[in-house]
Chain A
Amino acid sequence: DTEVTQTPKHLVMGMTNKKSLKCEQHMGHRAMYWYKQKAKKPPELMFVYSYEKLSINESVPSRFSPECPNSSLLNLHLHALQPEDSALYLCASSQESRGDYEQYFGPGTRLTVT
């Protein structure tokens, strides 16, 4: 029943592959986020988009490249990943990017890098 959708649900990729994760929200939110979550750890913020502009990059390696084609869509392009990048990648959205607005998460993409 989430209104934030993510594809694919699972992804296995080699270290030389290029792949993309996709996220879409249908709530008219103007802020979207990418998080990375390892097992038994809380989500870690990677990127924040506010009104389709990148506003925060939490020192994420360049092998992760975000893109926001429009206010409803958020992509994460992956290239030359390492096995330690295997994790659950979560997309979230909120009405505005100010912290007093609640964030809603998509179901995530479980990524395995071989």
Chain B
Amino acid sequence: RKEVEQDPGPFNVPEGATVAFNCTYSNSASQSFFWYRQDCRKEPKLLMSVYSSGNEDGRFTAQLNRASQYISLLIRDSKLSDSATYLCVVNMDNAGNMLTFGGGTRLMVKP
């Protein structure tokens, strides 16, 4: 079993749609969680950290479910510019300094 798993997609959605991605992680002791977006042939860019209480940044909402060991990312009112690969990233142990990346979920927003 992979340590951090994501549905690779692609998710093809029309502009204005709401889309949600889930990511599961294997280590119940994991403490820190992040979503990054990566455009084709570019570097990953931090989208948001994921907090236990959930957090929202504009059209983006992240949730953490520790009991089921998954995090989610909800994108409302999708824009063409949201097309990218979304990487779920987990720190398995706060005492360490290694992040574990999921394989990424590809989103394509169509006009």
Contacts and interface: CB of A to CB of B under 8 A. Distances in A.
A99 B46 contact: no
Which interface class (under 10, 10 to 19, 20 to 34, 35 or more) fits B? 20 to 34
A99 B87 contact: no
Contacts of A98: 94-97
A102 to B, nearest CB: 5
- Identify whether the interface residues of A are mostly helix, strand, loop, or mixed: loop
A105 B94 contact: no
- Identify whether the interface residues of B are mostly helix, strand, loop, or mixed: loop
Interface stretch (B11-19, B58-66, B69-77, B98-106): B98-106
A45 B97 CA distance: 11
A43 interface: yes
Interface in B7-59: 31-32, 34, 41-46, 49
Contacts of B93: 99
Interface stretch (A48-56, A63-71, A74-82): A48-56
Interface string A19-48: 000000000000100000000011101001
B49 A99 contact: no
B42 A107 contact: yes
A103 B98 contact: no
A86 interface: no
A48 B96 CA distance: 11
Given A99-B31, A99-B32, A108-B43, A42 B104 contact: yes
B83 interface: no
26 contacts: A2-B43, A31-B97, A42-B103, A42-B104, A43-B101, A45-B99, A48-B98, A50-B97, A55-B97, A56-B97, A88-B41, A90-B44, A97-B97, A98-B94, A98-B96, A99-B91, A99-B92, A99-B96, A99-B97, A100-B91, A102-B34, A102-B49, A103-B99, A107-B42, A107-B43, A110-B41
Interface of B: 31-32, 34, 41-46, 49, 87, 91-99, 101-104
